[in-house]
C-alpha cells in the first residue's frame, strides 16, 4: 500500500486488547504504519483481568473435589491445605507472561506503542496523556468494557472482577451481587476453595441468556454444593464494621449478611467515557456503546471500532475476528465481514455449561415446529465421587428439515466437548448425521450421538 504522508500514521489504535492487537498486527503486515496506545497493560480484559486468569482459578479450585474423590480411587491424601497467595501469585505471573507475549507480537510487527491514555480530538487526530498530538488516516477504538458498579451506600467497600485477582487474603465469606456468567464462575471458584458463598440477584433468574433446563440444573447442583441464593433482593447498603467485616443490607430483609468480601458482578459497560468521541461526531448507544455498521465503521468514516466497546458480542474470539476483518478490509483490500450466527459460548461454573444456537424457547418462537432431544446422565467421572450430580445434553432440531439448530450441555468438560459440536451445528448437519456417527465409548461426548 502507499503511505499517506499527510498523517503521522496510517492507523492509530486506542486499546491494546485482543481486538486492537490483532488489528494492529495484521494492518502492519499489510504495510501500514501503525501505532497503538494502551493506558494499562497490553493484552486487554481477557488476558489481564478476565477469562484467562479466571480460568486458571477455576483449574486451581477443581483440585478440591479431585482430592476429595481420590480416596475412592485408592489414593491416600493426607494433610492437604490450600494457600491462596500461592495460587494468586502463580496466576499473576502467567498474566505477566502473556503481557510480555502480546508486547513482543507488536514489537515483531514494528507497531509503535504508547503506554499512556489516548483520546480522540477529531476525525483524524488523537491526544496522548503526555500532551502529544498525533494524526492518523484511520483510528480504531478497541477499549473494551468495564465492570458496572451500581450506586448504593457503601459501594466503595466492594470489589469488582478487576480487583478479585489481587486479594491479599482469601475470604471465608463472600457475597456476590449478580447472577450472570462472571458471578456464577466466581461463585463456583470461591465455593470450591472453601468460602461460604451467597449470590444476591435483583431478579429470580441466573444466566438469563442460557437454556432454561441448563440454568435449572446448575441452580440445583450449586445449591447442593452449598452456595446460597437471595433472589429479588436489590442491595440497600454495605456497612464496614470496626472489625473489618462487611454488613450487606438487602431491601426487604431484616438482618444483614456478613462477608469478608463483596464482589459486584452485575455486568460490563462499554468503556467510552472521556474518549472524546463527540469531537469527531461518533454516535453512541444507550449503554455508551459505539454504534458501528457491518464493516465496523462508526458514524465518522475515518473511525472504526471492534470488540466489547461496540457491545455486540462480548467475547474475545469475536473481538479478534473483528480486528482481523477490519485490518484485512482497510489495508489488505479484502472484502470480509463477520458472521455472528452460531457463536458458541460457555460458562466455567462448577459444573460448566456451554451452548451454541438458540435456546429451546427462542427456537420455538423462530421456527415454530421443533424437536428436542436430550440425554440426562450421571457422568462416569462422578461415579466414585460424593456428588450424585447429573449431566444434561440437549439438541434442538428443526422438525421440517431435521437440521440441528442448537446444542446445549451442562456437565464436566462441557465447553471442551461443545467446541467440536459447534462445528457440526455451523455446518448445518442433521440429527440423522449425528445418529449415523458411531459413539466413542466410554465418554461423556458419546451422549451427543445417542440422544433420544
Q: Residue 196 — φ and ψ, nearest 5°?
A: -85, 120
Tell whether residue 182 is among the known ligand binding residues: yes
Residue 212 neighbours by CB under 8 Å, 6+ apart: 359, 360, 361
How far from 45 is each of 20, 145, 357, CA to CA, in Å? 12, 8, 25
In this structure, the strands spanning 125-128 and 257-259 are unpaired
Tell whether residue 179 is among the known ligand binding residues: yes
Q: Distance between CA 398 and CA 260 in Å, rounded?
A: 49
Tell whether residue 395 is among the known ligand binding residues: no
Tell whether residue 184 is among the known ligand binding residues: yes
Q: Which three cell numbers stand for residue 165?
A: 485477582
Tell whether residue 267 is among the known ligand binding residues: yes
Q: Distance between CA 38 and CA 50 in Å, rounded?
A: 17
∠ CA 221-316-25, rounded to 5°: 160
Q: Distance between CA 312 and CA 290 in Å, rounded?
A: 10
CB contact at 8 A, 221 and 351: yes
Tell whether residue 48 is among the known ligand binding residues: no
Tell whether residue 55 is among the known ligand binding residues: yes
∠ CA 83-413-216, rounded to 5°: 95
- Computed on alpha carbons and rounded to an integer, the radius of gyration of the chain in Å comes to 24
Classify residue 372 as exposed, middle or buried by CB count within 10 Å of its CB (0-12, 13-18, 19+).
middle
Tell whether residue 333 is among the known ligand binding residues: no
Provide the CA 56 distance to its chain's centre, in angstroms.
14
Which residues does the annotation mark as catalytic?
A: 441
Annotated binding site: 55, 178-185, 267, 308
Annotated binding site for NAD(+): 178-185, 267
Annotated binding site for FAD: 55, 308
Amino acid at each position: 500500500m502507499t503511505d499517506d504522508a499527510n498523517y503521522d500514521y496510517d492507523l492509530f489504535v486506542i486499546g491494546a486488547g485482543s481486538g486492537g492487537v490483532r488489528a494492529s498486527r495484521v494492518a502492519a503486515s499489510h504495510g501500514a504504519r501503525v501505532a497503538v496506545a494502551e493506558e494499562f497493560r497490553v493484552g486487554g480484559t481477557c488476558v489481564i483481568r478476565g477469562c484467562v486468569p479466571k480460568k486458571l482459578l477455576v483449574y486451581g479450585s477443581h483440585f478440591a473435589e479431585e482430592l476429595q474423590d481420590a480416596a475412592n480411587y485408592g489414593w491416600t491424601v493426607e494433610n492437604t491445605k490450600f494457600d491462596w497467595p500461592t495460587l494468586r501469585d502463580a496466576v499473576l505471573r502467567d498474566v505477566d507472561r502473556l503481557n510480555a507475549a502480546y508486547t513482543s507480537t507488536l514489537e515483531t510487527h514494528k507497531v509503535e506503542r504508547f503506554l499512556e491514555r489516548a483520546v480522540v480530538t477529531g476525525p483524524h487526530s488523537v491526544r496522548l496523556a503526555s500532551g502529544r498530538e498525533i494524526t492518523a488516516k484511520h483510528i480504531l477504538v478497541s477499549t473494551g468494557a468495564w465492570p458496572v458498579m451500581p450506586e448504593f451506600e457503601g459501594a466503595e467497600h466492594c470489589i469488582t472482577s478487576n480487583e478479585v485477582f489481587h486479594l491479599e487474603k482469601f475470604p471465608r465469606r463472600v457475597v456476590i451481587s449478580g447472577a450472570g456468567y462472571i458471578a456464577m464462575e466466581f461463585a463456583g471458584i470461591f465455593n470450591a476453595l472453601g468460602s461460604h458463598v451467597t449470590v444476591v440477584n435483583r431478579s429470580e433468574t441466573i444466566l438469563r441468556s442460557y437454556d432454561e433446563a441448563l440454568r435449572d440444573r446448575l441452580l440445583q447442583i450449586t445449591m447442593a454444593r452449598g452456595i446460597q441464593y437471595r433472589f429479588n433482593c436489590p442491595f440497600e447498603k454495605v456497612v464496614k464494621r470496626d472489625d473489618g467485616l462487611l454488613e450487606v443490607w438487602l431491601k426487604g430483609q431484616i438482618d444483614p449478611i456478613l462477608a469478608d468480601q463483596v464482589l459486584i458482578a452485575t455486568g460490563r459497560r462499554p468503556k467510552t467515557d472521556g474518549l472524546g468521541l463527540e469531537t469527531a461526531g461518533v454516535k453512541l448507544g444507550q449503554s455508551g456503546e459505539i454504534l458501528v455498521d457491518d464493516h465496523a465503521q462508526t458514524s465518522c468514516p475515518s473511525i472504526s471500532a471492534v470488540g466489547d466497546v461496540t457491545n455486540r458480542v462480548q467475547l474475545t474470539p469475536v473481538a479478534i475476528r473483528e480486528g482481523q476483518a477490519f485490518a484485512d478490509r482497510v489495508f489488505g483490500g479484502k472484502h470480509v465481514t463477520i458472521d455472528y450466527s452460531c457463536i458458541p459460548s460457555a460458562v466455567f461454573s462448577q459444573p460448566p455449561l456451554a451452548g451454541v444456537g438458540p435456546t429451546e424457547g427462542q427456537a420455538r418462537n423462530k421456527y415454530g415446529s421443533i424437536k428436542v432431544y436430550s440425554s440426562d446422565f450421571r457422568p462416569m467421572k462422578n461415579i466414585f465421587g460424593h456428588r450424585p450430580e447429573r449431566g444434561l445434553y440437549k439438541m434442538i432440531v428443526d422438525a421440517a428439515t431435521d437440521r440441528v439448530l442448537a446444542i446445549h450441555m451442562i456437565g464436566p468438560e462441557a465447553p471442551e466437548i461443545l467446541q467440536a459440536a459447534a462445528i457440526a451445528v455451523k455446518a448445518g448437519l442433521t440429527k440423522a448425521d449425528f445418529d449415523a456417527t458411531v459413539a466413542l465409548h466410554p465418554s461423556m461426548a458419546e451422549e451427543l450421538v445417542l440422544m433420544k
